[in-house]
Structures are given as C-alpha cells and as structure tokens.
C-alpha cells in the first residue's frame, strides 16, 4: 500500500493490485518473455513475475497463455491490408526489394520486440508457430504473390519466408553485431536479389 511519510511517497510493496495498469503491465512483460524464451519456454508465472502481478491476473485478463500471446504479440502495429497494397504498388521486378525494406523498416520502428517474440515463438511446435505461419505467409506473402500472377505462389511464398524469417532471427533475436547494426539500405541491396529470384526466377 502506498503511504506518505515526511513528504515522500513510499515505494509500493508486494504484487501490483489488479487494475487498469495491470493489463498493460502484463502485455509489456509478455512481449519481453516471449521474445526471450519463445512460446513454449514462456510461462504464465514468469510473465506475471516480470509484470510484478499475481499469476491469477493472467487468467483474469487473457484467459490463457495463448490468449495473452495472441494479444501481446499478434497485435501487429500496422495495417496488414495496407501493407499488402504497398507491396503490390510497383514493378514486380522490384518486389523483393520492397518486401525486405518494408519488413526491416516496420521491425526497426517497432523496436524489434514484437517481431522477436513472433520469430522466436515460430520455432515452437505450438500456437506460436501457427501464428508465425499465418502472419508471414497466409496474411502477407501468399496473397501478394497470387496477386502478381506468378506460378506456384504458395511455394514461392514459403521460400521468401525462409529468407525474411532468417533476417529477423539474425537481426532481432540472435542480434549478430554487424547485421544488427547494418543500415536498411545495405541489407536490402545484399538480400533483395535472392528474394527476387524466389519470386520471379526459375525454381524448377
């Protein structure tokens, strides 16, 4: 309980009481823990401890770990429909460049935390992996490749995903020094031609 002594506010002790700020604290803590441990490794108790709340508050606000994951990590900070339209706005011969640049720009702007959680959890044999597949392939890449009329759009989308997810893992999860510090233009120049080949090249 907060008290006042000699004009100074004493620090609160014990878990944060259930209230409006509890939900926000849990979301922030969940993004951190999912990014560090992935979906399988993150526990509701660890997330509650990081948020300094009682573990029962996770169930109270989100119902389950999957519900918390969906809201904390899948609340992507941009419009997916608008993203697809932007990727389609231009020459198909430069689509690979637009995909890499858009991915890096959005991840960098968001600080990488949400995407690190999504990418790390994507390796898990659970809901995290399904969310990664739905987010990258089903919601973005496959619709874009179908729209530009390439053959085998779903398989090409999967190939592009191997590159995009690899970029995300190295830059935002493993954080290899040179790659994490490299500017977007340098990475786009180096990686986009490989992704473009997956989009329009011969993959037979």
CATH 1.10.760.10 is right for the domain spanning 80-200: no
CATH 1.10.10.60 is right for the domain spanning 4-73: yes
DSSP 16: B
This model's pTM is above 0.75: no
User: Structural domain boundaries of the chain?
Assistant: 4-73, 80-200
**DSSP string of 86-149, one letter each residue:** HHHSS-GGGHHHHHHHHHHHHHHHTTTHHHHHHHHHTTSTTHHHHHHHIIIIIIIIHHHHHHHT
Task: Encode the chain (204 residues) as per-residue pLDDT tens digits.
Answer: 334 334 433 334 344 454 558 888 998 898 888 877 877 788 999 999 999 998 888 888 888 887 787 677 766 555 667 888 999 999 999 999 999 999 898 888 766 666 667 666 665 555 555 566 667 788 789 999 999 999 999 999 999 999 988 888 888 878 899 999 999 999 999 999 999 999 999 997
Q: What are the angstrom distances between the C-alpha of 59 and each of 67, 90, 175?
A: 9, 46, 33
Q: How far apart are CA 31 and CA 27, in angstroms?
A: 6
């Amino acid at each position: 309980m907060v008290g006042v002594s000699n004009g100074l506010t004493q620090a609160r002790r014990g878990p944060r009481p259930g209230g409006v700020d509890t939900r926000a604290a849990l979301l922030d803590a969940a993004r951190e823990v999912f990014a560090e441990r992935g979906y399988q490794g993150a526990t509701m108790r660890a997330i509650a401890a990081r948020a300094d709340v009682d573990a029962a508050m996770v169930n109270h606000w989100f119902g389950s770990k999957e519900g918390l994951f969906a809201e904390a990590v899948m609340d992507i900070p941009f419009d997916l429909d608008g993203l697809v339209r932007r990727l389609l706005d231009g020459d198909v011969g430069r689509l690979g460049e637009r995909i890499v640049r858009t991915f890096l720009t959005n991840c960098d702007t968001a600080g990488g935390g949400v995407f690190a959680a999504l990418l790390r959890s994507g390796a898990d044999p659970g809901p995290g992996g399904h969310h990664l597949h739905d987010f990258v392939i089903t919601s973005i890449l496959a619709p874009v490749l179908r729209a530009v009329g390439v053959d085998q759009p779903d398989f090409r989308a999967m190939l592009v995903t191997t590159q995009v997810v690899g970029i995300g893992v190295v830059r935002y999860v493993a954080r290899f020094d040179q790659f994490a510090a490299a500017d977007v233009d340098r990475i786009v120049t180096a990686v986009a031609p490989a992704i473009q080949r997956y989009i329009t090249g011969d993959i037979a």
